[in-house]
């Protein structure tokens, strides 16, 4: 219902909330889902987001929830895949996210988050993984119809997900000398990883620590031959869990 006494959100406030949702909060929620700390419903139920943000994260930040639209669907009759499409509220200023798309797999409990960002001459498709932000070099014409965004992202996911040779993959194992690392090493002795592993001591390698935004340990980062991050596991992790993911996806 229209409320004539409701204070409007200023363009500056709208941009700040857009940036927070698209590049901070949603990537964090997706990361928690991938770590199996949240369930699929949290990704698709905007009421959960509102409560989480208002009560715990940004109580003073104003959000245009009335004009932020979240819809969910399964694609191509695939019961394993779920999609959450987010249409962010106006104004769409330069570099702001016009829309977001979460593409998830129920089978392996893993999701990816893509953004459609305002740019010169159209909107560009990017992916957010934690604090990392990747541009695919794909620009779409500006349109309120998000179908082309949806189809372009699914094409990216399907191109990268089919099983392929994993000979160009490796795992970075970030650690520090601690009891936690001893416990992690014990888990790996029980089930060794099926890919080459490079151990990275956080006390000695600040370059990789900064590149992959490592703030805790242990962390396993799956990378390709170019060093691009494909997936990560944070905290004590069984080797079988990592191997199962690699088998399912590569």
pLDDT at 4: 43
d(C-alpha 237, C-alpha 217), whole Å? 11
Residue 74's pLDDT band (cuts 50, 70, 90): low
200-245 confidence digits (pLDDT tens): 999 999 999 999 999 999 999 999 888 989 999 999 999 999 998 8
Residue 3's pLDDT band (cuts 50, 70, 90): very low
Query: pLDDT at residue 8 above 60?
Result: no
202 phi and psi, to 5 degrees? Answer: -65, -20
Closest Cα to residue 248, out of 108, 142, 127, 130? Answer: 108
Provide the whole-model pTM: 0.64
pLDDT at 22: 87
């Amino acid at each position: 219902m229209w409320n004539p006494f409701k204070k409007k959100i200023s363009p500056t406030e709208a941009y700040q909330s857009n940036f927070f949702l698209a590049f901070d909060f949603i990537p964090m929620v997706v990361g928690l889902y991938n770590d199996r700390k949240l369930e699929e419903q949290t990704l698709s139920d905007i009421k959960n987001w509102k409560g989480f943000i208002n009560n715990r994260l940004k109580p003073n930040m104003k959000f245009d929830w009335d004009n932020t639209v979240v819809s969910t669907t399964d694609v191509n009759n695939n019961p394993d895949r779920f999609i959450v499409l987010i249409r962010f509220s106006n104004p769409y200023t330069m570099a702001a996210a016009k829309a977001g798309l979460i593409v998830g797999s129920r089978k392996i409990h893993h999701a990816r988050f893509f953004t459609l960002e305002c740019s010169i001459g159209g909107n560009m498709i990017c992916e957010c993984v934690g604090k990392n932000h990747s541009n695919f070099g794909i620009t779409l014409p500006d349109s309120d119809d998000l179908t082309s965004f949806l189809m372009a992202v699914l094409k990216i996911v399907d191109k990268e997900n089919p099983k392929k040779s994993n000979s160009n993959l490796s795992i970075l194992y970030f650690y520090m000398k601690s009891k936690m690392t001893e416990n992690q090493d014990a888990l790996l002795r029980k089930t060794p990883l099926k890919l080459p592993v490079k151990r990275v001591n956080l006390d000695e390698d600040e370059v990789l620590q900064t590149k992959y935004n490592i703030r805790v340990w242990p962390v396993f980062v799956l990378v390709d031959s170019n060093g691009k991050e494909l997936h990560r596991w944070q905290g004590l992790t069984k080797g079988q869990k990592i191997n199962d993911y690699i088998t399912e996806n590569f």
